[in-house]
Amino acid sequence: MKKLLAGTALAFASMSGASFAADTTACLITKTDTNPFFVKMKEGASAAAAENGIDLNTFAGKIDGDVETQIAAVESCIAAGAKGILITPSDSRALAPVVGQARDAGLLVIALDTPFEPAETADATFATDNFLAGELIGQWAAATMGDTSEAKIALLDLNPSQISVDYLRDNGFLQGFGVDIKDPTKMGDEDDARIVGNDVTNGNEEGGRTAMENLLQKDSGVNVVYTINEPAAAGAYEALKSVGLEDQALIVSVDGGCPGVQNVADGVIGATSMQFPLLMASKGIEAIKAYAETGEKPQNTDGLDFVNTGVELVTDAPVEGIPSITSEEALGKCWG
Amino acid sequence: MTQPVIKARGLVKRYGKVTALDHCDFDLMPGEIVAVIGDNGAGKSSLIKAISGAVSIDAGTIELEGKPISFSSPLEAQDAGIATVYQTLALSPALSIVDNMFMGREIRKEGIAGSVFRALDHAKMREIAREKLSELGLMTIQNIDQPVETLSGGQRQGVAVARAAAFGSKVIILDEPTAALGVKESRRVLELILDVRSRGIPIILISHNMPHVFEVADKIHIHRLGKRLCVIDPKEYSMSDAVAFMTGAKLPEGAVEAA
Amino acid sequence: MSDTTQPTRKGQEFEQTLDASDKTVASFEHESRGFVDRLQHALHSNPTLVPVIVLIGAVAVFGLIAGGKFFSAFNLSLIIQQVSIIGILAAAQSLIVLTAGIDLSVAAIMVLMAVIAGNLSVYMGVPPVLGLLASFVGGTAAGLMNGLLVTRVKLPPFITTLGTWSIFYALNLWLSGAQSIRSQDIDANASILKFFGNNIALGGARITYGSILMVAVFAVLWYMLNKTAWGRHVYAIGDDKDSAELAGIRTDRTLLSVYALSGFVCAIAAWASIGRVGSISPQAFYEGNLQSITAVVIGGISLFGGRGSIMGALFGALIVGVFQSGLRLAGVDVLWQVFAIGWLIIFAVAIDQWIRKVSA
């Protein structure tokens, strides 16, 4: 099925501003152009490109995991003589060979949001510190509960593929909450009795609801719910509400999309970690411009193997010792 | 003089440069079985298609019981009373005998159940189907809710013929009814054909099987080079005569071979 | 006029020996058959038997493995609730599959119609009833579009719906801005959209209106397919379209009605999905088309058309739900749930092939 999709997906890939006047060309390749996160990313890249006089071509797969379309997009960028590529890889490993080709051809390749494995596959990675994002909501949940010995934790992850963003947020949350995470690159290997279970949501409301129902079936006393993103959180809330348990559980999430922030304001989500896709893209464009002019490549943030574009905790019930912003402040910065 | 059931005059049908029917005539009298024979490519099937409404003719006239007819689809021909049993039988294998017999002319229940809820009257359709099959001596078929695909070739042919005969047809066209059958089953189908005629329905029979044709036909229409070469009485000619006429090896008395 | 001579009932000379042979050809031979043979025949005349047996067996086995948590009224009603949307989509899918087609666009139509109803009622101030009405008209029109492409332009259903899947998906993203409509906003402006999320508590069970709707949709479609002439025609077309045409069915018109009805059922699924999910998510149910096909296939409806009962699709959807719930409660990783469903599909198609050989 996926193969068949690739053809249509190419039709979805848009070429914007393909004029040949500008000297520097850059490419933005996102996983999809449907997720508001990537829409915001594209917005940031377009604005920065216009500001810096860079010609921007944008491409996107049709669905998350659409590797073929992304490979074709990288090849097009090489052929078009672009100076640099900003890419959110649909597969952290499968794209490595084509990225290598691009770098050999002298292009600067920057991974946005999702790092390659190994991270050195690309020249640089501009991303949210997903582990930190998870850790912040974990710490917040633990502090809000006070005594965590009676905690019953439901973990609503993305999908069965064990991709980095999924296990980083999940393990970050557990570490922040005070659970021994064992292997930090694996989900579900913990043996802490407070964990009710893991289930997958595909990052949307329907999946979030079904996953929450399933975990409630395992233990109806769930009182802490970690969710991979805010749509999944909204679904989890519906599941709790349908059995009258919405006040029993703290729901935490990661993302910072506008509907998610609104859900923090409405008390659906207790706290969420906001990330900044617009910043990733605009910084990426600036890096390509710098590289085109001086040949200089961006430097990683100290202590990390990527450039941290920042994360902020959003909650209307702040706890001491964990810096946070309110949902009202966050609504001004949210994406989507 | 008795009026022919079907009378066709000067039929012409061209496919591009090929003339399949070249001013062809055809007659079918009440209560008789007319077999149409001819070599491959002689235009037999074009003639049958013209009569059954499957193709539209370029020139000529066809009359059904004295009234001129012109069909744009087999459906119209069927509604007018010309039923065709195709070589493929046009049965739906997975559906039951009853469903197949009433395909396209289902009976609905009376009252609201039928008019508003469109409910079918299965009981009545079963009853009629059983009756029609018995009339043709086909009631060895015991379970009429049985899917057609579980029947033998001869039984399927029987269902198809029963369907054609059941609904007030004036003419039944049988296209190669015994072609796919074994010896025993062919015999059964030939008897069925005679049964249908004995009920007063005239039949046009297309067949390559000379023994079968000579056995059941009252008249044999020999088709050659797109037109009627002659009509012979099977009792007066032998099979080898017929084959000779068909292939042009011999000319019947009074007939003139076209240049 | 030739005299109608009494036909020579004796037949040809070479056939005379037949008189001495067995004359029972045209009757039904009830020779004794082995158990496997009889089973094959039983399944052939009643294809829904397989999914029913599998469903009952699966419930029993998971009841033993996963214990009371699985075999509780609450969990069983939850399974029905969880499969209700895919179930309704499977009903729409069954209609198309019975005509020997396949519809890759069912879920896309559903999500698009949910987005249309939501956008109109929640954001544009249209009375919610009119918003829903628009989605029903839209769903029917979307189905009709598939049908016209199949019957008039003569495209294969697979290609047609592969195309319209993308088209409807793109429209959905354009209309929704790829952004979910939040549950709270729906409650405030158009709570009727979530009507099917309400439930009746029956002992421990919670029967949502959506679950009841799913059963009702199947019941109505079953009636239409089995008790009306239209239904017989649908089967005949799926069985052999040319034969149906020759038998006097207006096949294209019937096909159009099937596609339009399927689109309408997708719009019903859209309404139910809003109640089920709570919010309107343009990203949800992306694989709903494949899941609906899975339910249809496991339900014993032949992908070659014309065979199987629509009720099979209901059981197929429930089987998937029971497997997922049972395996989950037994602590089996999601990965292996996917694995199990894969085998179920292959098993179902293999059974279908075997049953179809009965007449050979």
In tens, the pLDDT along A286-336 reads: 999 999 999 899 988 888 888 999 999 999 999 999 999 999 999 988 886
Label residue A267 left, alpha or beta by phi (over 0 means left) and psi (-120 to 50 means alpha).
Answer: left
Write the CA distances from C353 to A329, C24, C99, C302, C360, integer angstroms.
Answer: 62, 30, 18, 9, 12
Is the model's pLDDT at C30 over the cut of 60?
Answer: no
Could you give the 3-state DSSP secondary structure of residue C297?
helix
List the single best residue of A204, A241, A246 to mutate versus C (max C Cβ within 10 A): A204
Residue B256 belongs to a domain? no
Q: Nearest residue of C to residue B156 by CA position? A: C26
3-class SS string, A227-282:
ECCHHHHHHHHHHHHHCCCCCCCEEEEEECEHHHHHHHHCCCCCEEEEECHHHHHH
Worst-scoring range by mean pLDDT, A53-57, B133-137, C50-54, C133-137?
B133-137
User: Which residues, in sequence order, are bridge partners of residue B83?
Assistant: B172
Measured between beta carbons, the chain C residues lying within 8 angstroms of A263 are 182, 184
Q: Mean per-residue pLDDT for A150-154?
A: 96
Look at B147 and C18 and tell me if their CB atoms are within 8 Å. Answer: no
pLDDT of C316: 95
Write the CA distances from C237 to B105, C253, C305, C306, integer angstroms.
Answer: 15, 11, 8, 7
Please identify among residues 39-68 of chain B the ones whose CB lies closer than 8 Å to any CB of chain C. Answer: none
Against chain A, the chains showing at least 3 CB pairs within 8 Å are: C
In tens, the pLDDT along B10-19 reads: 999 998 888 8
Worst-scoring range by mean pLDDT, A11-15, A80-84, C46-50, C193-197?
A11-15
Q: Label residue A82 by pLDDT band (50, 70, 90).
A: very high
Is the model's pLDDT at A142 over the cut of 50?
Answer: yes
Counting the structural domains of chain B, the total is 1
Token pair in block for residue A90: 């649909």
Min distance B149 CA to chain C CA atoms (Å)? 6
Write the CA distances from C29 to A130, B59, B143, B151, C26, integer angstroms.
Answer: 72, 51, 12, 10, 9
Lookup result for tokens 């079953």: C222
What is the C-alpha separation between A145 and A248, in angstroms, rounded?
A: 11
- Enter the ipTM: 0.82
Residue C31 belongs to a domain? no
In tens, the pLDDT along C144-196 reads: 999 999 999 999 999 999 999 999 999 998 898 878 899 889 999 999 999 99
Residue B253 belongs to a domain? no
Measured between beta carbons, the chain B residues lying within 8 angstroms of C246 are 74, 84, 86, 88, 90
Q: Name the interface residues of A facing C (CB cutoff 8 Å).
A: 1, 4, 8, 11-12, 34-36, 39, 62-63, 160, 188, 199-200, 202-207, 209-210, 213-214, 217-218, 231, 234-235, 237-238, 241-243, 258-259, 262-263, 266, 268, 336
The answer, for C45 touching chain B at a CB cutoff of 8 Å, is yes
In tens, the pLDDT along A246-294 reads: 999 999 999 999 999 999 999 999 999 999 998 999 999 999 999 999 9
Q: Label residue A162 by pLDDT band (50, 70, 90).
A: confident
In tens, the pLDDT along A185-220 reads: 899 899 999 999 999 999 899 999 999 999 999 899
The answer, for B134 touching chain C at a CB cutoff of 8 Å, is no
Residue C322 belongs to a domain? yes
pLDDT of A299: 87
List the single best residue of C158, C171, C180, C345 to mutate versus A (max A Cβ within 10 A): C180
Q: Tell me, what CATH number does B206's domain have?
A: 3.40.50.300
Q: Nearest residue of C to residue B54 by CA position? A: C246
Q: Which domain holds residue B17?
A: 6-247
pLDDT of C4: 43
pLDDT of A173: 97
CB-count burial class (<10 Å; 0-12, 13-18, 19+) for A245: middle
Worst-scoring range by mean pLDDT, A15-19, B38-42, B170-174, C203-207?
A15-19
Could you give the 3-state DSSP secondary structure of residue B169?
coil
Lookup result for tokens 């067996």: C57
Is the model's pLDDT at A10 over the cut of 50?
Answer: no
List the single best residue of B29, B86, B92 to mutate versus C (max C Cβ within 10 A): B92
Please identify among residues 212-231 of chain C the ones whose CB lies closer than 8 Å to any CB of chain B. Answer: 223-224, 227-230
Measured between beta carbons, the chain C residues lying within 8 angstroms of B74 are 246, 248
In tens, the pLDDT along B208-241 reads: 889 999 999 999 999 888 888 888 898 888 888 8
Cβ-contact A55, A22 below 8 angstroms: yes
Look at B2 and C240 and tell me if their CB atoms are within 8 Å. Answer: no
Lookup result for tokens 């039923």: B83
Is the model's pLDDT at A37 over the cut of 50?
Answer: yes
Look at C358 and B183 and tell me if their CB atoms are within 8 Å. Answer: no
Q: Mean per-residue pLDDT for A96-106?
A: 92
Residue B86 belongs to a domain? yes
Please identify among residues 99-128 of chain C the ones whose CB lies closer than 8 Å to any CB of chain A. Answer: none
Cβ-contact C111, C165 below 8 angstroms: no
Extents of the domains making up chain A? 2-127+277-298, 130-275+311-331
In tens, the pLDDT along B169-181 reads: 889 999 888 887 8
What is the C-alpha separation between A114 and A91, in angstroms, rounded?
A: 9
Is the model's pLDDT at A1 over the cut of 50?
Answer: no
Min distance C139 CA to chain B CA atoms (Å)? 23
Q: Mean per-residue pLDDT for C96-116?
A: 97
Measured between beta carbons, the chain A residues lying within 8 angstroms of C183 are 234, 237-238, 268
Residue C33 belongs to a domain? no
Please, do chains B and C touch (3+ CB pairs < 8 Å)? yes
Residue B52 belongs to a domain? yes
> How confident is the prediction for chain C on average, in pLDDT?
88
Against chain B, the chains showing at least 3 CB pairs within 8 Å are: C
Look at C277 and A206 and tell me if their CB atoms are within 8 Å. Answer: yes
Residue A250 backbone dihedrals phi, psi, to 5 degrees? -90, 125
Q: Label residue C216 by pLDDT band (50, 70, 90).
A: very high
Min distance B259 CA to chain C CA atoms (Å)? 31
Is the model's pLDDT at A84 over the cut of 50?
Answer: yes
Residue C326 belongs to a domain? yes
- Closest to C7 measured CA to CA, from B133, B196, B36, B136: B196
Helix (H) or strand (E) holding A86: strand A84-87
Q: Nearest residue of C to residue B219 by CA position? A: C2
Is the model's pLDDT at C345 over the cut of 60?
Answer: yes
Residue B258 belongs to a domain? no
Against chain C, the chains showing at least 3 CB pairs within 8 Å are: A, B
Is the model's pLDDT at C357 over the cut of 80?
Answer: no
Look at C334 and A214 and tell me if their CB atoms are within 8 Å. Answer: no
Counting the structural domains of chain C, the total is 1
pLDDT of C204: 84
Residue B1 belongs to a domain? no
Label residue A188 left, alpha or beta by phi (over 0 means left) and psi (-120 to 50 means alpha).
Answer: left
Between C15 and C239, whose confidence is greater?
C239
Amino acid at A319: V
Q: Label residue B141 by pLDDT band (50, 70, 90).
A: low
Cβ-contact A154, A225 below 8 angstroms: yes
Q: Nearest residue of C to residue A62 by CA position? A: C166
> How confident is the prediction for chain B on average, in pLDDT?
86
The answer, for B247 touching chain C at a CB cutoff of 8 Å, is no
CATH number for the domain whose boundaries are A2-127+277-298: 3.40.50.2300
Token pair in block for residue A215: 């975990």
What is the C-alpha separation between C263 and C137, in angstroms, rounded?
A: 9
In tens, the pLDDT along B44-83 reads: 888 888 888 888 889 999 999 989 988 887 778 888 889 8
Look at A36 and C178 and tell me if their CB atoms are within 8 Å. Answer: yes
Please identify among residues 35-94 of chain C the ones whose CB lies closer than 8 Å to any CB of chain A. Answer: 69, 74-75, 78, 82, 85
pLDDT of C111: 96
Q: Mean per-residue pLDDT for C216-233?
A: 96
Q: Mean per-residue pLDDT for C102-127?
A: 96
Look at C276 and A206 and tell me if their CB atoms are within 8 Å. Answer: yes
| Facing residue for A160 by CB, picked from C199, C284, C338 | C338
pLDDT of C248: 82
Look at C247 and B233 and tell me if their CB atoms are within 8 Å. Answer: no
Token pair in block for residue C36: 């496997």
| Facing residue for C179 by CB, picked from A203, A237, A336 | A336
CB-count burial class (<10 Å; 0-12, 13-18, 19+) for A291: buried
Q: Mean per-residue pLDDT for B140-165?
A: 83
Residue C9 belongs to a domain? no
CATH number for the domain whose boundaries are A130-275+311-331: 3.40.50.2300
Residue B17 belongs to a domain? yes
List the single best residue of B55, B88, B103 to mutate versus C (max C Cβ within 10 A): B103
Q: Mean per-residue pLDDT for C243-272?
A: 94
Q: Which domain holds residue C310?
A: 49-352
pLDDT of A236: 97
Look at B92 and C243 and tell me if their CB atoms are within 8 Å. Answer: yes
Is the model's pLDDT at C35 over the cut of 70?
Answer: yes
Q: Nearest residue of A to residue C197 by CA position? A: A242
pLDDT of C146: 97
Is the model's pLDDT at B256 over the cut of 80?
Answer: no
Q: Label residue B142 by pLDDT band (50, 70, 90).
A: low
Look at A217 and C78 and tell me if their CB atoms are within 8 Å. Answer: yes
Residue C357 belongs to a domain? no
Q: Tell me, what CATH number does C309's domain have?
A: 1.10.3470
Token pair in block for residue C67: 């214990």
| Facing residue for B95 by CB, picked from C227, C228, C236 | C236
Is the model's pLDDT at C348 over the cut of 90?
Answer: no
What is the C-alpha separation between A108 and A289, in angstroms, rounded?
A: 10
Per this entry, what is the length of chain A?
336
> How confident is the prediction for chain A on average, in pLDDT?
88
pLDDT of A20: 42
Measured between beta carbons, the chain C residues lying within 8 angstroms of A39 are 177-178
List the single best residue of C17, C99, C243, C261 to mutate versus B (max B Cβ within 10 A): C243
Cβ-contact A306, A115 below 8 angstroms: yes
